[in-house]
């Protein structure tokens, strides 16, 4: 059986550890590989090497660091198809979806190729008599990223690209469910010219997460995962003095106004709700039609669209989505559907018990549509993270906005309308971190930043963009004066001012 090992650079000793995890092929349900876990000793050794290598990397001028990422971009593009197939085989998403996963990460790599400009500080000449003030952004040292299973390329690249471009050394702990692509990306980064010791990939479960959080030489940790775990990681990391950036779960709402183009809205909603089997924190699992007339027309069109969906294996070019990541997750999703029905939801399309001929042991869940969902239902309050769309009916636009605002998650929201004033008002007032106007999955482009509110985000900085640069650097401000030869001003016992 194939073994997936850590990528340890710069002479980190391979310390034997009997613990490992199974990596499944979600399409067949078979174990396809074993990932070898590290332990506390492995982490300490990796951090020691990273800490020794980091100052020299930070001393490399930003233009030369950028050249490594230009080359890295070329290598990812060269390997794109192979990476997509590998990613799909461990996650279950279709190959075209895997290509999108890679591209959204590649966008951030392209962004950090501009690191010489992004790291420029500020300068004020003549802030006082003969005094100039300037600031600089400097790396933190050794930093880490802990990434989820659902985006094995995109999210590691969101973290490692800005961190390393800023001059840090980076420890990556990818999901043990889909570990192969992160290792391959690190190999390509080394091939691009990254010095030894600057990136280390270590596998593990909660034991490794805790080791990272407790290691005092790691100065910052970026995390993406479920909200309960994100809150735990944030609390434990900040307690040890780390800078923390923790993105949690979501329950994104799609508000459908009476004036919306329903045919267009349905196309967008179906793709956003069921793409990647709903295993996206920016999926659209809740649709909120305004008014019963809108709801009835929307429901009719949704049923027709769902009937045309094709669930297939990852390599099926005609599949709209593939299996979910594990048998346990399949059971969890189907359990939530049962809970929703018990709570009083109306099941319109039931995807439970779905099997694919020839792949009966695969982790497939059929598309599900639930109507008459209410805000007090546990199945509405919690993240299902599967191909389940819940319909919550409301009477007016204000009630729709309040629904999204009051929800404990605040990651993303979308509104479908032709009314520019209504959309502008909605975007300004809704208490959610990312808003789409006739855009169902409003993941910002790489030169903006990604981040949710409330239980969807813990910490003060968003992912990538300038927020990512700020997270992985600290500002140093210098106030300087060069007095002329023999010039004296005498002692001052009052606070200095520039007045």
- Residue 106: its pLDDT value, please? 98
d(CA 268, CA 168): 40
Q: What's the rounded mean pLDDT across residues 212-239?
A: 97
Q: Determine the 3-state secondary structure of 425 from DSSP.
A: helix
> Catalytic annotation on 166?
no
Length of the chain equals: 499
Per-residue pLDDT averaged across 77-82, rounded?
A: 98
pLDDT of residue 11: 87
For the chain, give every domain's residue range: 2-248+456-478, 253-437
The pLDDT, as a whole number, for residue 79 is 98
Kindly state the percentage of the chain with pLDDT values over 70.
Answer: 100
For residue 92, the 8-state DSSP code is -
Q: What is the pTM of this model?
A: 0.96
Task: Supply the pLDDT for residue 278.
Answer: 97
CB 47 within 8 A of CB 142: yes
Question: Among residues 248, 222, 243, 174, which one has the least CA distance to residue 456?
Answer: 248
Taking all residues of the chain, what is their mean pLDDT, rounded to a whole number? Answer: 96
The CATH superfamily holding the domain 253-437 is Aldehyde Dehydrogenase; Chain A, domain 2 (3.40.309.10)
Per-residue pLDDT reduced to its tens digit, 176-201? 999 999 999 999 999 999 999 999 99
pLDDT digits (tens, 9 = 90+) for 348-376: 999 999 999 999 999 999 999 999 999 99
**CATH no., domain 2-248+456-478:** 3.40.605.10
pLDDT digit string, tens, across residues 50-77: 999 999 999 999 999 999 999 999 999 9
From 113, 166, 246, 281, active-site residue: 281
Q: Assign 498 a pLDDT band (cuts: 50, 70, 90).
A: confident
CA dist 424 and 432 (Å) reads: 14
CA–CA dist 159, 378 (Å, integer): 33
Q: Report the candidate in 43, 310, 323, 79 with the shortest Cα–Cα distance to residue 177.
A: 323
**DSSP characters for 107-141?**
HHHHHHTTHHHHT---EEEEEETTEEEEEEEEE-S
Give the pLDDT mean for 160-164: 98
Asked if pLDDT for residue 78 goes beyond 90, the answer is yes
Q: Kindly indicate the confidence band of residue 161, based on its pLDDT and cuts at 50, 70 and 90.
A: very high
């Amino acid at each position: 059986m194939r073994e997936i090992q850590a990528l340890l650079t710069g002479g980190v000793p391979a310390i034997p550890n009997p613990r490992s995890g199974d990596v499944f092929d979600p399409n067949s349900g078979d174990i396809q590989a074993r990932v070898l876990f590290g332990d506390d000793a492995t982490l300490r050794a990796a951090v020691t090497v990273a800490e020794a290598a980091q100052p020299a990397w930070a001393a490399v001028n930003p233009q030369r660091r950028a050249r490594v990422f230009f080359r890295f971009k070329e290598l990812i593009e060269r390997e794109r198809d192979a990476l997509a197939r590998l990613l799909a085989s461990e996650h279950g998403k279709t190959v075209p979806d895997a290509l999108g996963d890679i591209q959204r990460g590649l966008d951030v790599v392209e962004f950090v190729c501009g690191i010489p400009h992004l790291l420029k500080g500020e300068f004020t000449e003549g802030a006082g008599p003969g005094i100039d003030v300037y600031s600089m952004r400097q790396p933190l040292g050794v930093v880490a990223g802990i990434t989820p299973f659902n985006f094995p390329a995109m999210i590691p690249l969101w973290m490692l690209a800005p961190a390393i471009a800023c001059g840090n050394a980076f420890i990556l702990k990818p999901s043990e469910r889909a570990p192969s692509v992160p290792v391959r990306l690190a190999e390509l980064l080394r091939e691009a010219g990254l010095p030894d010791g600057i990136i280390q990939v270590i596998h593990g479960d909660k034991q490794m997460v805790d080791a990272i959080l407790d290691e005092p030489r790691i100065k910052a940790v970026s995390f993406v995962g479920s909200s309960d775990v994100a809150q735990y990681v944030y609390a434990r990391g900040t307690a040890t003095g780390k800078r923390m950036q923790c993105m949690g779960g979501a329950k994104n709402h799609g508000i459908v106004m009476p004036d919306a183009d329903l045919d267009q809205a349905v196309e967008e909603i179906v793709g956003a709700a069921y793409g990647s089997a709903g295993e996206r924190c920016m999926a659209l699992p809740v649709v909120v039609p305004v008014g019963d007339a809108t709801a009835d027309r929307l429901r009719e069109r949704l049923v027709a669209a769902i009937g045309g969906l094709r669930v297939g294996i990852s390599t099926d070019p005609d599949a709209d989505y593939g299996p979910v990541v594990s048998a346990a997750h399949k059971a969890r999703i189907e359990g939530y559907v049962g809970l929703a029905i018990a709570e009083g939801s109306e099941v319109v399309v039931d995807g439970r018990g779905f099997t694919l001929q020839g792949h009966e042991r695969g982790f497939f869940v059929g598309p599900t549509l639930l109507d008459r969902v209410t805000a007090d239902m546990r199945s509405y309050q919690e993240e299902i993270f599967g191909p389940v769309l819940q319909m919550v009916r409301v009477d007016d636009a204000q009630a729709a906005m309040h629904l999204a605002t009051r929800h404990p998650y605040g990651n993303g929201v979308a509104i479908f309308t032709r009314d520019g004033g209504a959309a502008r008002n909605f975007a300004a007032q809704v208490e959610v971190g990312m808003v789409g106007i006739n855009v169902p999955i409003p993941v910002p482009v790489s030169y903006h930043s990604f981040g949710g509110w409330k239980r969807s985000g813990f910490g003060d900085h968003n992912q990538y963009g300038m927020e990512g640069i700020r997270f992985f650097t600290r500002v140093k401000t210098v106030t300087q004066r060069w007095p002329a030869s023999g010039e004296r001003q005498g002692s001052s016992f009052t606070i200095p001012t520039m007045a």
